[in-house]
Amino acid sequence: MAHLTVEVVYRGIFQKNLAARITRGIVLSSRKAGRWGIAFGRYGDSPQRNGIPAKDFAIVADTKEELEQHMARYQPKELHVTICVDDTLCKGVESWAWYGLQPINRLLLSGGHLLVTSTRSPSELLRDIHKKDSPYHLWILPAKASFSGLWVFKEDHTEARALGALAKIASEFLDIEAVCAAIREAEWGSELKAESARKAYERADGRRIQMNEGSDEVPFSFEMPKWWEMREGVTIPAIPVGKPVEGGKGYRPERNPYFKKFTTRTMRPVVNFDTCVKCTLCWIQCPDSVFDVTPDGLYDANMEACCGCGVCEAVCPVKDCITMVNEAAFDDNQSQWEMWRQDKDAYRVWSTEKIRDKVTTVRSHGFRYRGQYEEELSQGPLELGGTPVSEGIPGENAKAKGVQPKRHMHDMASIVTGVPEAPGA
């Protein structure tokens, strides 16, 4: 008897439907091949929140009895394959509180497989992926992270291509013909998607990763309380009031000490302190109390607390004062204001390089970009998720900044509802 256990690590809400399609596709494909399978989400991830890492699982077994054996647990402890559908999650996964930072390859068995959707090279990804005490294989599915939401889906074939690549990785369990047949029969499937899966199968290529390869970072962790240490009743301690800094000249709010939140983001704000007008909008509008008030009245985003929502960029009234930049462009969470205070010229060079790099500032997801997936995909290439619509700085202050956001094709029928999108939707 034998079994295959797969996890899909994804961004909560933004990739919920994508992960479900992949895991259910695995089960349907396995049944086409005469095996048993089941797909399920991790109980602890519910209710999901925007961007917070979550997991779905698929288990395939030769017999019903073996499948039931591996189902009887909260979540699998050992995995044959991890599918990561956002390469910024290669820095590690923190799901809700108390878990700490878990390496993306943590649960892989020796000789297991990590499949990542990314446009980066293996060497670039390995700068983020933590070292593991056993060898494994790294596979890259050329694609940008596919983001959508609960009620819309970006039909860029990511789910079909992931299934095709998995058929190459776990060929003893998933036959490519069975995968294509399952895709054709799925409610979201088509002959074109089946062809995309076949192409991914043919092009998939893995690299063996040795124990000495990867990041040396030691993931942060917390000591879980023992049952006899827990407080009686259902009580949650409140977050204390913040504290003044540097003799009361600045202010730092208190934050959840057990949930860092920074693995939630795919982008982070880069602040131009020279152009900040101290309007307080970023500080007031931030939903997570991310900004510290500095002694000189500026606002410094705490990168261990920032979830990358982009509200600060949207409300900032000054052009290019706050710019969201892809998380892959950064190696640490150090304070930008401290960098600026210590060497203003060096900070200006650093921040300018980050902001001008279109590879890391292009984005096509978030609350400012709803309703544009059809336009992106029409400009291709489909296999890389289309061409992101990135002209202009979005947000309600875009006109005040002297920038006109890209006009979207709201008069066209939506691929989701079949009716024209409402302006701004």
Q: Which residues of 308-325 are buried (b: 16+ CB within 10 A; e: fewer)?
A: bbbbbbbbbeebebbbbb
Please list, in sequence order, all residues whose beta carbon lies within 8 angstroms of the beta carbon of residue 72, skipping any fewer than 6 positions away.
none
Q: Count of CB atoms within 10 A of residue 223's CB?
A: 8
Is pLDDT of 127 > 80? yes
Segment 172-199, tens digit of pLDDT: 999 999 999 999 999 999 999 999 999 9
Fold of 243-356: Alpha-Beta Plaits (3.30.70)
In a 3-state reduction of DSSP, which class is residue 376? helix
What is the distance between the alpha carbons of residues 141 and 68, in angstroms, rounded to a whole number?
31
Residue type, 206: G
Residue 334, judged by CB atoms within 10 A of its CB (0-12, 13-18, 19+), counts as exposed
User: What are the tokens at 262?
Assistant: 């920074």
* Least confident segment among 151-155, 255-259, 265-269, 291-295: 151-155
Give the H/E segment covering residue 112: strand 108-118
Task: Print the SS3 string covering 38-64.
Answer: EEEECHHHCCCCCCCEEEEEEEEECCH
What is the distance between the alpha carbons of residues 253 and 241, in angstroms, rounded to a whole number?
7
What is the distance between the alpha carbons of residues 283 and 193, in angstroms, rounded to a whole number?
45
Segment 32-53, tens digit of pLDDT: 989 999 999 987 788 888 888 9
Band (68; pLDDT cuts 50, 70, 90)? confident
Q: Write down the pLDDT at residue 422.
A: 36
* Residues 254 and 241 sit within 8 Å (Cβ to Cβ): yes
Q: Write down the pLDDT at residue 381.
A: 67
User: What are the tokens at 49?
Assistant: 């929140």
* % of residues, the chain, pLDDT over 90: 56
Is pLDDT of 402 > 60? no
Residue 417, judged by CB atoms within 10 A of its CB (0-12, 13-18, 19+), counts as exposed
What is the distance between the alpha carbons of residues 313 and 321, in angstroms, rounded to a whole number?
8
- Residue ranges of the chain assigned to CATH 3.30.70: 243-356
Residue 240 gets which letter from DSSP?
Answer: P
* Residues 83 and 123 sit within 8 Å (Cβ to Cβ): no
Band (420; pLDDT cuts 50, 70, 90)? very low
Segment 334-367, tens digit of pLDDT: 999 999 999 999 999 999 999 888 777 766 555 4
Band (240; pLDDT cuts 50, 70, 90)? confident
Q: Write down the pLDDT at residue 103.
A: 95
| Alpha carbon distances (Å) from 385 to 206, 242, 278, 364 | 22, 43, 38, 10
Segment 263-284, tens digit of pLDDT: 889 889 999 999 999 999 999 9
Q: Write down the pLDDT at residue 380.
A: 65
What are the strands of the beta sheet with 250-252, ordered from one edge? Answer: 243-245, 250-252, 291-293, 299-301
Q: Write down the pLDDT at residue 224.
A: 77
**How would DSSP label each residue in 139-180?**
EEEE-------SS----SSHHHHHHHHHHHHTTTT--HHHHH
User: CA triplet 219, 224, 225: central angle to 5 degrees?
Assistant: 160
Is pLDDT of 63 > 70? yes
What is the distance between the alpha carbons of residues 371 and 417, in angstroms, rounded to a whole number?
11
- Residue ranges of the chain assigned to CATH 3.40.920.10: 3-209
Query: Considering the domain 3-209, what is its CATH architecture?
Result: 3-Layer(aba) Sandwich (3.40)
Band (416; pLDDT cuts 50, 70, 90)? very low
Locus of tokens 């509802």: 417
What is the distance between the alpha carbons of residues 102 and 97, in angstroms, rounded to a whole number?
12
Q: Write down the pLDDT at residue 415.
A: 39
Residue 105, judged by CB atoms within 10 A of its CB (0-12, 13-18, 19+), counts as buried
